[in-house]
Amino acid sequence: MFETQRLLLREYRLTDESFFIELFNDYDVLLGITTSYVAPSSERTREALKGLGKILLFMVAESKETGALVGFADINNVSPPQNLDGTIGIAIAKAWWGKGYGTEIMRWLVSYSFKTLGFRRLSLQVFASNPGAVALYEYVGFKHEGREREAIWREGEWVDLIRMGLLAREYYSDNTQAPQDVPENAPSESHPVSSACTQDGIASTAALDWVLL
């Protein structure tokens, strides 16, 4: 079990299933994390949860104060392994948006990925239609590395898919705050700073196309 300032990051438990079914049946959450059409399905969620063992590190975020489940976080590695390239992802339940939990979790994920797992770089992708999430990733150090123009059809318009990355040397040169601290001037999370596994995370285990938000 890991800890941030306000959260426990612990293992998935069978009793967590109902939370995940609710999370992935929320239209607003799905809208931000799937590259496919929005189609909530309890059965698909159950199938995805069966594949958690294939993810390098999957954690449920739980409030220290109340014990309520806030969301999840994951770290995975991109093949081939010699490239030392990892992906990270989070999803936050809508009731907890705008409270800084996305920033808190992302800072921990980045720190753990470099300091403990020894990754050389981290990669993610995010919808251009979610400027709050883009600002968050920029805040924790991610750089823009590419853009797939009009890649996703989202609610009547084409949306760009932004690819971002962070190198270990950039993290160590820029990191001046303890990873567990939640900065007071963190970007707003009025948009769903939920995110999910990229190609090698929960998506690949159950054909769910989650992307980072």
131-183 tens-digit pLDDT: 989 999 999 999 999 999 999 998 899 999 999 999 999 999 987 544 444 34
- Give the per-residue pLDDT at 201: 33
Residue 86: inside a domain, yes or no? yes
The neighbour count for residue 84, using CB atoms within 10 Å, is 16
Q: Which residues of 162-196 are buried (b: 16+ CB within 10 A; e: fewer)?
A: bbbbbbbeebeeebeeebeebeeebbebebbbbbb
Average pLDDT over residues 88-99: 93
Residue 183: inside a domain, yes or no? no
CA separation for the pair 205, 71 (Å, rounded): 19
Four-residue CA torsion sign, 196, 50, 109, 25: positive
Which DSSP string corresponds to 82-103?
GG-EEEEEEEE-GGGTTSSHHH
Residue 182: inside a domain, yes or no? no
- Would you say 88 and 109 are in contact if contact means Cβ atoms under 8 Å apart? yes
CATH number at 146 reads 3.40.630.30
Confidence of residue 187 (pLDDT cuts 50, 70, 90): low
CA separation for the pair 200, 183 (Å, rounded): 30
The neighbour count for residue 6, using CB atoms within 10 Å, is 18
Residue 28: inside a domain, yes or no? yes
Strands (E), the chain: 2-3, 7-10, 57-63, 69-77, 85-92, 121-127, 143-154, 157-167
Q: What is the mean pLDDT of the chain?
A: 83
- Residue 155, domain extent: 2-175
Q: How many domains does the chain have?
A: 1
Residue 108: inside a domain, yes or no? yes
- Give the per-residue pLDDT at 71: 96
Residue 41: inside a domain, yes or no? yes
Residue 200: inside a domain, yes or no? no
102-142 tens-digit pLDDT: 999 999 999 999 999 999 999 999 999 989 899 999 999 99
Which residues contact residue 37 at a Cβ distance below 8 angstroms, ignoring those fewer than 6 apart? Answer: none
Residue 211: inside a domain, yes or no? no
